[in-house]
Amino acid sequence: MAELSAALGIAPVLANLLVQRGIETLEEAHRFFNPRLEDLYDPFLMKDMDRAVERIAQAVERHEKIMVYGDYDVDGTTAVALVYSFLRRLGHTDLMFYIPDRYTEGYGISIKGIDLAYRKGVSLIITLDCGIKAVEKVAYATEKGIDFIICDHHLPGEKIPEAVAVLDPKRVDCPYPFKELSGCGVGFKMVQGYCLYKGLPFSEAERLLDLVVVSIASDIVPLTGENRILAHYGLERLNSKPGKGLHSIIKICGLDTHTITIDDIVFKIGPRINAAGRMEVESDGEHPVPSGGHSAVKMLIERDENMAEEFGSFIDTCNQDRKNIDRSITQQAHDYIEKNPHLKKLKSTVIYNPNWMKGIVGIVASRLIETYYRPTVVLTKSNGFATGSARSVPGFDLYQAVESCADLLENFGGHMYAAGLTMKPENVEEFTRRFNAYVEEHIDPQMLIPQVEIDAPLLFSDITPAFRRDLCRFQPFGPGNTAPVFVTRGVSNRGDARLVGAECEHLRMDLMQGEKPNTTIGAIAFQQPTHYEWIRSGKPVDVCYCVVENHYRGTVSPQLRIKDIKTVE
């Protein structure tokens, strides 16, 4: 570690962070700090890539009508925008896209979408971020003379759909080295493969990386390996020359005055794009009207700046509406649990209200975990079925818990930490009993206790401009390369701590270590008002935190984003 620190010219604590991430040699460190597009894997290592690009080339040459079909979340809509924009740039005009309605069709490939494709004369459907389990739907389309190319990143079922090509690195028979691409990432690899196949410059794919990084950040895939490279260059594109649709959202978020980070995507850009698909707005999904996930794609592919801003404003309105409904439903869920003490004693939460909005229940599940910290399922009623979302806590495999109740479910899908599920309303009670029993039996009690993993102790005096500059080189942060969490003990406030936020829910303060003024640093503790009186009194505390940059009126200064506070008696 000392040799690595000396060779790189970085602080020993940062060299230690590299070692914790499995980076132990100078060569590995240079590759980590300097991601290169040349290190992206050959897209033809992915099974069926040759078949996919050949079929697309055939469709382009023959002027066949192509439908680009994707999920209604950020990953799906960015993926559709990416492939649609690429084909349009090739000059292919026989092109349309389709986003299923969350409320009338649900997730994945729908019969309604296939029937529309048939009526419109579509001969090839390219799916993004969905389709890996659509065995019957693909067979139905084949009977109508429609070919499918599936681009997905979810776990396959026992049978792979009989499509022209099925691109999914998680296929057991797929030798692709990196398994954690987003759905949009798989779409990007297909575009990269097409460029190689047709002898087009890589720049034709590279220009779409702003969409890829938005998908990577929003879908919470690991920011390691190929995703780190794609995210690094995607952020460069997002900051320098984003598409007009993304630029409209960037301006609405107020992010056009400083460098956009992964956090900005996760907390500002992504939720706005997601909100369009969450809100229940009347639309048949066919005509280019600003509604649902359809309007998100319209914004992302828009080439006219004024139209892009119009779509961006609509999506921002959707997000405001979503936040209001989110707060209301979350409060109702909290009230229900608090009025039923036996629910609080369980190791999991399953809650059902047929009147809640389907598009919000996943957010509500995440909110409930913030309070009760245990695997959570939130269900509502839609199209005659009980349907909803499940979320987990670190370490617990939620997908297996849901899968253990598969005989009660009409369909389900997801991964270790998040899942979607649908069942008949009469099965909710039994599902609740069996899901709770499974969690009770399989969860480690330690998983039910919120923990903050600390990377290293740090003195405030160590947070120098050079330290901050080197720390920035670890970005982009995300799963697999999380922002380092440091701990500093025995710090205090001089009495200027204050509660901020609409409901005084955040604690802002300057913290001092020792008596020297130059060891004072600004800090913000979101959703942590508890220790306000103690801190304001000047009594000492231990804090764990991430070091971030605070942008205010053109000035950039270090700030501690407090993860937890411990009073020192």
**Which of these, 129, 125, 127, lies nearest to 75 by C-alpha position?**
129
How many CB atoms are located within 10 Å of the residue 202 CB? 13
* Residues whose CB falls within 8 Å of the CB of residue 52, separated by 6 or more in sequence, listed in order: 149, 151, 164, 165, 167, 190, 193
What is 456-567's CATH topology? Answer: OB fold (Dihydrolipoamide Acetyltransferase, E2P) (2.40.50)
Beta strands in 392-446, from DSSP E residues, in sequence order: 409-414, 418-423
Q: What is the pLDDT of residue 36?
A: 96
* DSSP string for 280-344: -----SSS--S-HHHHHHHHHH--SHHHHHHHHHHHHHHHHHHHHHHHHHHHHHHHHHHT-HHHH
Q: What is residue 460's DSSP assignment?
A: G
- pLDDT score at 286: 45
- Identify the residue whose tokens are 């049978």: 159
Angle among Cα 361, 367, 373 to the nearest 5 degrees reads 120
Pairwise CA distance, residues 200 & 192, whole Å: 9
Beta carbons of 214 and 246 less than 8 angstroms apart: yes
Q: Is 202 helix (H, G, I), strand (E, B) or coil?
A: coil
Contact 77, 70 (CB under 8 A): yes
| 519-525-529 Cα angle (round to 5) | 120
- pLDDT at position 2 is 78
In angstroms, the Cα distances linking 340 to 328, 379, 386, 449 are 19, 17, 21, 21
**Local structure of residue 43 (DSSP, 8 states):** G
- Report CA-CA distances (Å) from 556 to 258, 269, 466, 507, 543: 9, 21, 14, 20, 22
Alpha helix positions (H), 339-427 = 341-344, 361-372, 398-403
Looking at residue 366, the DSSP 8-state letter turns out to be H
Domain coordinates of the chain in residue numbers? 2-34, 43-319, 340-448, 456-567
307-328 in b/e burial notation, b at 16+ Cβ within 10 A?
bbbbbbebbbebbeebeebbee
Q: Which fold has domain 340-448?
A: Diaminopimelate Epimerase; Chain A, domain 1 (3.10.310)
Q: Which of 465, 533, 459, 453 is nearest to 491 (CA)?
A: 459
Q: What is the pLDDT at residue 288? A: 40
Pairing of strands 165-167, 376-382: unpaired
In 3-state terms the chain splits into helix, strand, coil percentages (rounded to 5) of: 45, 20, 35
Whether omega for the bond prior to residue 177 falls within 30 degrees of 0, making it cis, is: no
**What is the distance between the alpha carbons of residues 30 and 183, in angstroms, rounded to a whole number?**
28
* pLDDT in single tens digits along all 569 residues of the chain: 678 888 889 999 999 999 998 898 999 999 999 999 999 999 999 999 999 999 999 999 999 999 999 988 899 999 999 999 999 999 999 999 999 887 777 778 999 999 999 999 999 999 999 999 999 999 999 999 999 999 999 989 889 999 999 999 999 999 999 999 999 999 999 999 999 999 999 999 999 999 999 999 998 889 999 999 999 999 999 999 999 999 999 999 989 888 899 989 998 999 899 887 766 554 444 444 434 688 889 999 999 999 989 888 888 888 888 888 888 999 999 999 999 888 888 999 999 999 998 878 988 999 999 899 999 999 999 889 999 999 999 889 999 999 999 999 998 887 788 888 999 999 999 999 999 999 999 999 999 998 888 999 999 999 999 999 999 999 999 888 999 999 999 999 988 899 998 889 899 999 999 765 557 899 999 989 999 999 999 999 999 999 998 877 667 788 999 999 999 87
Query: What are the distances in angstroms from CA 6 to CA 27, 202, 471?
Result: 14, 37, 16
HEC profile of 124-188: EEEEECCCCCCHHHHHHHHHCCCEEEEECCCCCCCCCCCCCEEECCCCCCCCCCCCCCCHHHHHH
**In the CATH scheme, what is the code of domain 43-319?**
3.90.1640.30
Cβ neighbours for 176, distance < 8 A, ≥ 6 positions apart = 41, 45, 46, 47, 169
Contact at 8 Å (CB) between 398 and 387? Answer: no
Residue 126 and residue 152 in contact, taking contact as beta carbons nearer than 8 Å? no
